[in-house]
Structure 1
Amino acid sequence: MTIKQNGLVAVVTGGASGIGEATVRKFVAEGWQTIIADINEARGLAIAEELNVNGGQATFRKLDVANKDDVDAFASEIYGRFGSVSVLVNSGGVLQNATRITNMALEDFDRIININLRGTLLMGQVFGARMIADQAGSIINLCSLTTYQAHPQPAYAMSKSALKTLTEVMASEFGPAGVRVNAVAPGYTLTPAMKQRIESGERNPEAVIAKSALRRFVEPSEIADAIYFLCSPQAAAITGVVLPIDCGWLASSVYAAAAAQPA
C-alpha cells in the first residue's frame, strides 16, 4: 500500500482501540501523520508498527487524559516535534455497565467523569489554546446516544450529555480564531468492547437491531469516516454540532414507542 503523505498532523486519544483505532487508521490512510495517544502501550505500539510497515506515518505516545501533568507534557512533546496539530479527536473514554443511581459506587462515577469529561476538557484546553494561536484547527469530541436520551448508565450518560455542552461552548469560544469544534454521537457500534459485552450477556444484540431503523449495528469505520469529513474542508462551515451516527436508532426507538402505531 502506497500512501501519499500530506504533512498534516492529527492526534487521536483512545487511539489504541475501537472507534479511536478506526479513526487512526482512516487518517493514516489519508496521508496524515497520526499520533496514537492511549494508556494501552502494548496495543498502541503494535498498531503504529503495523501502520508504518504498510507505508503510513503513525506515532504512539502513552497518555492518561485524566492527568493534567500528563496532558501538558504530551502536548509540549507533540508540538515540539511536529510544530503544529491540525486535528484533535477526543476518543479516549470508558464505558459503564447498567446500574441504578442508588447502587452506583461514587468511585466509578469519579473515574468515568474524570476520563470522559475532564479528560476531554483538559485536551481541549491545551490543544485549543495552541490552535487558537495558530488560527486554525479542528477538534472532534465523542458523545453518544446517551447524550440525547436517558440510559441506565448514569455516570456515562452524564459525562456524554455534558460533552454536548462542552462542544458548543468550545465552538463558540474558538470559532473567531478559525478553529472548529464538533462532536459525533455514535450509536451501538461493534467495537471490541461492545463485542465483549455481547458475549458476556451485558448487551442484547437483538434488542439493538430491532430498534435501529437500518436493523444493524454501526461499524467503527463508519464513525471514522464521519469524523474525517467533519475535519475536512468540505465541512468548513460546520461547527458546534453533534452528529448522531446510529443507524437510525434515536429516531426508530422513539417511533416504536409511540402509543399509536399504523396498522
Structure 2
Amino acid sequence: MSDNQESVVVTGGASGIGEACARRFARAGYRVILADVNAAGGERVAEELRAEKLNAHFHQVDLASEDSVAAFALAVIAEYGAPHALVNAGGILQNAVRVLDMELAEFDRLFQINVRGTLIASRAFGASMCEAGRGSIINLCSMTTFRSSAQVAYSVGKSGLKALTETMAAEWGSRGVRVNAVAPGYTLTQAMQARIDSGQRDPNAVIERSALRRFVKPSEVADAVHFLCSDQAAAITGVTLPIDCGWLVSTAYLAFASQPE
C-alpha cells in the first residue's frame, strides 16, 4: 500500500447519490475511488475533488460485466488493500410501465446492473474485507423496496437488494464486515431533474405526498451512508434505512379511509 489512508470505493460515482457519497467521504479524509461506466462524469468528479486537495481516483467500470468489476477490484485491492467501505450506488432508473407492456429485455438490463452488478461488486470487495476482518458495505435500495410501483423491474430489483443486504450481513458479520442499505425516496439528482424537465415526474405530487413537503437532497443520503460506515454505527448491520422525507409514512397516512377533522 502507498500510505495509511483508508479507502472507500463508490460505484456509480459519476453522478447523483454516488457522486454525493464520493464527495462526502473525500471531505471526511478518505481516499475515494470512484467507479462508473460514464468516464466523462467520473473524471469530472475526481478532478473537482483533487482541486480541493482531496484524494480521489476514477476507474471506468461496467457493472454489467463481471470481468470489468473483477479487474477493477483486483487493481484497487493490489494498490490499497481491502477498502474501509464499498458503496454500491451504481444503477439505472426506469420509467413507469405496465407489466404486460414491459419489454423483458428492459427487465433483464435493470436486473443485470442494479442487482447482479451489486452482487458482483460486493463479492469482489467483500472477500478482501472478510479476510481483513473489517469493512462496511452499503447497498442502494429505494422506497420501492417497501411499496408497489409501476417501475416494475426497478422495484423488483430494489426489493431483492434488501434481501441480499440481509443475507450478506448474516453471513459476513462473524468476519467483521457490516452490510446495510439505504432506501432513498424522491431525491433531486441530475437524473430526477431531467425527468421532471421532460414531464416524466410531477414534482408537486412528490412534495404534496411527503411529510416534510420536499425532495430529498443527495447530500442527505450521503450523510446517512457515511454514518452507517462509521464507528458510531458499529452495532448496526442488516438494516435498510429509508431516507425519504417521510414519503412512506405520509402516503400510508393519507390513504387511510378516514382522516381527522
TM over 0.5: yes
Q: For 1:34-53, what aligned pairs fall within 5 Å after superposition?
A: 34-53=32-51
Kept in 1, the 8 Å contact 2:115–2:161? The answer is yes
Q: Select 1:81's aligned residue among 65, 79, 82.
A: 79
- Whole-Å separation in 2 of the counterparts to 1:173 and 1:88: 17
**Secondary structure of the equivalent of 1:65?**
coil
- Whole-Å separation in 2 of the counterparts to 1:194 and 1:233: 32
**Secondary structure of the equivalent of 1:43?**
helix
Kept in 1, the 8 Å contact 2:62–2:68? The answer is yes
1:149 paired to 2:147: yes
Tell me which amino acid in the other structure corresponds to 2:207: I
The alignment covers a number of residue pairs equal to 259
Q: Which residue is equivalent to 1:138?
A: 136
Kept in 2, the 8 Å contact 1:71–1:122? The answer is yes
Q: Which residue is equivalent to 1:200?
A: 198
What are the Cα deviations for residues 104-136 of structure 1, in whole angstroms up to 9, with x where unaligned?
011111110000000001011111111000000
Q: Which residue is equivalent to 1:254?
A: 252
Tell me which amino acid in the other structure corresponds to 2:91: G
**Secondary structure of the equivalent of 2:136?**
strand
Identity of aligned pairs, percent? Answer: 58
Structure 2 residue runs of 5 or longer lacking an equivalent are none
Structure 1 residue runs of 5 or longer lacking an equivalent are none
- Whole-Å separation in 1 of the counterparts to 2:52 and 2:146: 40
The alpha-carbon distance between structure 1 residues 208 and 188, as it changes in their structure 2 partners (threshold 3 A), is same
Cα displacement (A) at 1:6: 7.2
- Whole-Å separation in 1 of the counterparts to 2:145 and 2:233: 22
What are the Cα deviations for residues 31-58 of structure 1, in whole angstroms up to 9, with x where unaligned?
1000010000011111111111111000
Q: Select 1:209's aligned residue among 198, 207, 210.
A: 207
Tell me which amino acid in the other structure corresponds to 1:128: G
**Which shifted more, 89-98 or 66-75?**
66-75
Q: For 1:1-263, what aligned pairs fall within 5 Å after superposition?
A: 7-263=5-261
Tell me which amino acid in the other structure corresponds to 1:66: A
What are the Cα deviations for residues 166-219 of structure 1, in whole angstroms up to 9, with x where unaligned?
000000000001100000000000000000000111001111101100000000
Q: Which runs of 4+ in 1 moved over 3 A?
A: none
What are the Cα deviations for residues 45-79 of structure 1, in whole angstroms up to 9, with x where unaligned?
11111111111000000001121111111111001
- Whole-Å separation in 1 of the counterparts to 2:10 and 2:100: 35
Kept in 2, the 8 Å contact 1:66–1:122? The answer is no
- Whole-Å separation in 2 of the counterparts to 1:142 and 1:6: 28
Kept in 1, the 8 Å contact 2:11–2:87? The answer is yes
**Secondary structure of the equivalent of 1:213?**
coil
- Whole-Å separation in 2 of the counterparts to 1:46 and 1:206: 32
**Secondary structure of the equivalent of 1:225?**
helix
- Whole-Å separation in 2 of the counterparts to 1:217 and 1:28: 24
**Secondary structure of the equivalent of 1:101?**
coil
TM-score (norm 2): 0.98
- Whole-Å separation in 2 of the counterparts to 1:91 and 1:203: 21
TM-score (norm 1): 0.97
- Whole-Å separation in 2 of the counterparts to 1:209 and 1:6: 45
Tell me which amino acid in the other structure corresponds to 2:212: L
**Which shifted more, 48-57 or 237-246?**
48-57
**Secondary structure of the equivalent of 1:71?**
helix
Kept in 2, the 8 Å contact 1:145–1:185? The answer is yes
Cα displacement (A) at 1:150: 0.3
